[in-house]
A and B are shown apart, each in its own frame.
Chain A
């Protein structure tokens, strides 16, 4: 491999990283700012983190977001997995093309349109806007992402595993729960995590479908920023970044360890 550090390479890497991470670094740095003025450095302090936990509005919004995320991601994962199973297993039912098109349409639908149409629906059926409607809207939004992830796993699933289980006396239901589900579980978990993340940072659809008492964290942050950025918001965002970063790091470390272990195992097996 040719890995020379030419001036061009260094410049492009520095520029690339700066472009991606400079805003985030600034945000983190200023969350530790003593001064109330966001752009003026007044010395190091963690007081905004303390005051953050005394800000009832932000804490409530965080709680709402967590609940919406957990519930909608879970329901979306169940529905998305079922859709993926249908699309890969029953390839010849009537209206399959229409169904797959409809499942994947929200993937490319502008969020504004999804949000607006959901709002119209909720108004039409007389559903009061609030926690329930945001959750329903997020299920609609995230289900197709789960379906895509699980479907791509099912495409490479070796059907003879299921046949072997049935051949050994397992009924189709037992086969599904004892063989199919455990084997595709990693894909289902990543689908769930994707759905949870999408729900966590959605602003547009939540703004359309949420009501009083069900303000999500992104909505809260956005509305506060319109009144001027406070270091408190910086602190909230820093915590959010830390949570996401830790999650990603743990997931990739676990993945890497599994991979290394698998390679060692395979080498051991080759040696006999």
Chain B
């Protein structure tokens, strides 16, 4: 049997030009009065994909989910599921189920009746309902809570009931609206992995809405970053982090240092960027940006090294002064103020247990990085 990791590594229908899209948002616009929640947005999601819609609150990601579930109709454009246009199909006839942010458990029903609700609506025979409910309870490890009412459960248990209820009907697509938002940090981390296992075992397509980038990075095959009702980038977690397509994405996902500048000299991908105040950055990742183009050079803190002396071999080294040090246990974050006033954030893993840190507040220090460590952004 293949491990979960290798299945996920091999799974990349988005790179296959012949792969059939499963869910398609086709130039979808949604307006609420004068407010445009979703603006001419197109997206493709594949079967069995774990797809995350990531964005700040109010960016339109929940509206996308609600349109897929059928609670809202697009003002313009169309949504296709397995080739079928969903326009006009009411929520109760769509082969999708949703797990609500508030869980929306029926307070007057027991756990097992909550899970059985959808099956009863389909007119499934009673013995089958009973066995499916038992299977679902086992899946979320709540067998001994079958007769309880929702208010007799803890937050984590409620979350699992909501999950069991939404997958009980074996929907083609499961929509999850901030599924872990109400759980505390430790429980959230455990549940992330449980959700991933569940998705693999049932072979479902998951579309999850979240504002938590760590959650999206951990669980999703691909992430769509949404801002003001538009897609900023759709890519795998690694691509989003290592090769952000725009300043917004670079700044939204993780921490980043940005230098504004102009391409001074460039040939075949590599270039020198004049970042002003005598700072020149050499990079291998300039892409097609020609000389004279205004660009932003973005680099992640963990790709910057801090040292008290100028490293001899470094291609990029800039001098500054240690302005702040934050010891976080697993790593230490340095804030170095360059001579032009810009503060650079650099993080170092504390691999050894005891390090004799030569750097202290107000010390002169050098920040250095390799030419392939950062990305050049033109948008």
Contacts and interface: CB of A to CB of B under 8 A. Distances in A.
Contact of B91 (A167, A174, A182, A183): A167
Nearest to A266: B151
B34 interface: no
A167 B154 contact: no
Contacts of B118: 168-169
A110 to B, nearest CB: 40
A160 B100 contact: yes
Contacts of A268: 152
Contacts of B104: 158, 160-161, 163-164
A62 B319 CA distance: 97
A272 interface: yes
A184 B96 CA distance: 28
Contacts of A170: 92, 117, 121
A167 B92 contact: yes
B151 A265 contact: yes
A137 B90 CA distance: 42
Contacts of B90: 166
Contacts of A164: 98, 100, 104, 106, 165
Interface string B149-161: 1011110010000
A265 B152 contact: yes
22 contacts: A158-B104, A161-B106, A163-B69, A163-B71, A163-B91, A163-B100, A164-B100, A164-B104, A164-B106, A164-B165, A166-B70, A166-B91, A167-B91, A169-B118, A182-B108, A183-B107, A183-B108, A265-B148, A265-B151, A266-B151, A269-B152, A269-B154
Contacts of A168: 92, 97, 117-118, 121, 165-166, 169
B163 to A, nearest CB: 13
Chain A interface residue bracket vs B = 20 to 34
B122 interface: yes
A171 B93 CA distance: 9
Given A179-B106, A183-B107, 20 more contacts: A158-B104, A161-B106, A163-B71, A163-B91, A163-B98, A164-B98, A164-B104, A167-B97, A167-B166, A169-B93, A169-B118, A169-B122, A183-B106, A265-B149, A265-B151, A265-B152, A266-B151, A269-B151, A269-B152, A270-B154
What 5 A-B pairs have minimum CB-CB distances, sorted nearest first?
A168-B118, A169-B121, A164-B104, A265-B152, A160-B104
A64 interface: no
A165 interface: yes
B332 interface: no
Nearest to A162: B104
Given A168-B121, A169-B122, A269 B153 contact: yes
Contacts of B169: 168-169
B102 interface: yes
A165 B152 contact: no
A270 B152 CA distance: 9
A178 B154 CA distance: 25
A265 B108 CA distance: 15
A24 B97 CA distance: 60
A55 B346 CA distance: 96
A167 B151 contact: no
Interface string B69-81: 1110000000000
Nearest to B116: A168
B151 A262 contact: yes
B69 to A, nearest CB: 6
A220 to B, nearest CB: 42
Contact of A269 (B96, B107, B157): B157
Contact of A171 (B92, B107, B149): B92
Contact of B102 (A160, A183, A270): A160
A218 B11 CA distance: 80
A166 B92 contact: yes
Interface string A157-199: 0101101111111110010001100110000000000000000
